Amino acid sequence: MPPIELHELSQSPKRKNHDLNTTTTILTTPSSRDSNESSRSNGSLIDDLIDEEEQVGDLSRPGPDLTAPIKPFIADSNFKYTLTAVWVGNFLCALDGTIVSTTMSNIASDFGQSNLVSWIAVSYLLTSTAFQPLYGKTSDILGRKTLLLIGQALFGIGIFLSGISTNVETLSLSRALSGIGGSGIFTLSSIVISDVVPLTQRSMYAAYGTVIVNTSQMLGGPLGGFCIATIGWRWMFLIQVPFIIGCMVITYFCEIKVAHIPDGPERFSKENIKRIDFGGILTSNLFVSSIIFLLSDNGGYPKPFEYFLYALLIISLVGYVIVEKYIAVEKLVDPQLMKGQIGVLGLVNGINSLSFYLILFIVPLYLQLIQHITVTHIGFYTMFCVVSSAIGAMIGGSVIKRYNQTEASTMKAGISVSAISFMIQTIGFSMLYMLSSLVNPVNESLFWRIIMILSLTISGLGVGGFGPGVALFIIGKSGAKDQASTQTAVNVIKSLGNVLGLSLSLSVYNKEVQRKLWDFFGEGKKDIIDHLIKDSSYIFDELDQQYFKDVLNIYRDSLSKSYQPIFIMTIFGLSIIYLLNRNVQKGLKL
């Protein structure tokens, strides 16, 4: 195959996070700049955070022209092969993140370890978040193909070991290993596309990528339920192995080259290896991991271990700052890239993921545990979210494509579409929150089922439409040479939102369940409480009918409680992206 030459087709390698402001300065008059400064001085604190510093200087200074039309991009066969490998891998990684959403209770019950159920999900999300910084900047040093093959290999080994696990501990460790590999596949899939496709023509690629990831994440639960009802939960992992091996074979025979990445022996030279920020990788992993461990605590940690986690959190944070400021040859993530609008949008992206992952995990749990719907029938409900998510992504990509005359118009359309989509997602999420709070357990009414389907459909439309615009705006702001590091940082925030949202929700849920059960039964019924905590299926299988209704209400109220902190943050995120969109529309001249 001829090599894919990944040249920076539309962006200057020198372009930094402040370039949009430089371009804005070129396109505005001094009086308009004075007006902008005056309005900013009277603005809110959030406006100050979202607005970026004006770069006032020599107006004839050369810089990237965001208003210039871009030549059409034509994909060759080698790019198509590479695209197949990264998108199939991305599908599997996203699938693996949610395939346990409807099955983790069954798996933990099989092992007799229902009290450890949250680790089946959190272990994968933890490592897939913590190790993303390893791949972004390192792929700028060792090459995209090398890191992609490493990620695919680790993911394949992890899912194979998951399929042959003997208890929750070994399953969680295996999923942690697959998460390390999955983080690389997920990170590099968007970077490889961004290396090649001009920003003005990337909206539909971003839409297709969003469809693949969101569809896979939403299909994970139903597919897991289907597997556990037919071939067994082990095969939902093992069946993925041949597909990831196929991705590795395709990747191996493809050539992926980027203009600013060393080629040949220079790539693995001692001097080039020194550029890898091992200290930053280690300290960032420890920092993220300690956060997740603390959030996953449902009261079962010994006090010394809890104190150790807090100490590790502080030490790793201080260590990361020291390494990045004084030791690292090249920073893991340049702080300058995350200032202003990119940093704010990264925060919004993370908040958006909070509610999305709550939908993926808590809604199936609600349907299964509170409404006693089988895992196979849960797929009927989530199907509406899957389909609407794909429709939302395609609509969002198509709308952005209508304004792809220049990079500036593409970015402006992208952030507007994302803001509207976030609002739609928030409406759907609010409906789900109210539904979980008000509907009685094991309710046979058709009305609440229709509202559930409508809520999931609205949520899916918003989730699908949000992604493409965010990706385009961030890539356009950062420029070609810095886009790998910037995308990685934003993806880390998004994945951290996934993990934090799930960990926080499950932690609130578990603590509320235990507290309410103890309040209801008291010390005299400790054996019943222990059974319920270890195996939630005990409610329908063995629990005395005199307690049945009250216990289900306890679980319903606890699940509803798990929505509350995420709901508050979602409203906050919606406010932020509204202000961000307003500032972008005012500041980015066409």
Q: What is the pLDDT of residues 280-303, one digit of tens each?
A: 888 988 888 887 778 666 566 788
The count of other CB atoms within 10 Å of the CB of residue 32 is 13
Q: In the 8-state DSSP scheme, what is residue 115?
A: G
Q: Two tokens at 11?
A: 């962006």
Distances (CA, A) of 551 to 324, 365, 445, 508, 528: 51, 15, 20, 17, 11
CA distance 497 to 184: 18
Q: Give the residue among 191, 192, 207, 208 at the shortest CA–CA distance from 254.
A: 192
Q: What pLDDT is recorded for position 245? A: 95
Average pLDDT over residues 478-487: 73
> What Cα–Cα distance (Å) separates residue 481 from each residue in 59, 421, 478?
24, 29, 8
| pLDDT for 162 | 92
pLDDT reported for residue 158: 94
How many helices (H) and strands (E) in the chain? 23, 2
pLDDT(8) > 80? no
Q: Measured between alpha carbons, how far is 156 from 419 in angstroms, rounded to an integer?
A: 37
Mean pLDDT of 16-34: 36
The 10s digit of each residue's pLDDT in 434-446 is 998 889 998 889 9
| pLDDT value at residue 20 | 39
pLDDT reported for residue 44: 47
3-state secondary structure 29-71: CHHHHHHHHHHHHCCCHHHHHHCCCCCCCCCCCCCCCCCCCCC
Look at residue 296 in the predicted model and tell me its pLDDT.
64
Q: What is the mean pLDDT of residues 371-377?
A: 82
**Cβ-count burial of 466 within 10 angstroms (0-12 exposed, 13-18 middle, 19+ buried)?**
buried
CA angle (213, 85, 170) in 5-degree steps: 70
Domains of the chain: 77-261+268-277+329-512+564-578 (1.20.1250.20)
Residue 4 has a pLDDT of 44
The whole-number average pLDDT for the span 455-471 is: 90
Q: Is the confidence at residue 383, as pLDDT, over 90? A: no
- From residue 299, alpha-carbon distances to 508, 530, 582 in Å are 11, 15, 43
- φ, ψ dihedrals at 42, nearest 5°: -95, 5
Determine the Cα–Cα distance for residues 183 and 130; give it in Å rounded to an integer. Answer: 8
Q: Tokens 């990528």 appear where? A: 209
Q: What is the largest CA-CA distance in the chain?
A: 82
Q: What is the pLDDT of residue 240?
A: 93
pLDDT value, residue 456 = 93
More reliable by pLDDT, 448 or 18? 448
Q: Determine the Cα–Cα distance for residues 550 and 571; give it in Å rounded to an integer.
A: 32
Say what the pLDDT of residue 41 is: 40
Residue with tokens 């090649």: 196
Q: Hey, what are 494's tokens? A: 């998004």
pLDDT confidence of residue 59 = 29
Helix (H) or strand (E) run with residue 130 in it: helix 117-130
Q: Which residue has the tokens 């940690």?
A: 301
| Tens of pLDDT, residues 46-88 | 454 455 543 333 323 344 555 555 566 666 788 888 888 989 9
Helical segments of 131-269, H only: 132-142, 144-163, 168-196, 203-229, 235-238, 241-253
Range 376-383 contact pairs with CB under 8 angstroms and sequence separation of 24 or more: 376/222, 376/225, 376/226, 376/229, 378/102, 378/221, 378/222, 378/225, 379/221, 379/222, 379/223, 379/225, 379/226, 381/449, 381/452, 381/453, 381/456, 382/218, 382/219, 382/221, 382/222, 382/456, 383/222
Structure tokens that stand for 514 in this block: 């235990």
Q: What is the mean pLDDT of residues 536-544?
A: 82
Contact of 587 with 24, CB cutoff 8 Å: yes
- CA 518 to CA 521: how far, in whole Å? 5
What percent of the chain stands above pLDDT 70? 84
Calpha distance 260→398 (Å, rounded): 32
- Alpha-carbon distance of 206 to 421, in angstroms, equals 15
pLDDT tens by residue, 151-160: 999 999 999 9
* pLDDT over threshold 70, residue 21: no
The token duo for 184 is 């690389």
Of the listed ranges 174-188, 374-388, 538-552, the least confidently predicted one is: 374-388
Q: Could you tell me the CA-to-CA distances from 60 to 23, 63, 73, 478 in Å, in that order? A: 11, 9, 30, 22
The reported pLDDT for the residue numbered 181 is 93
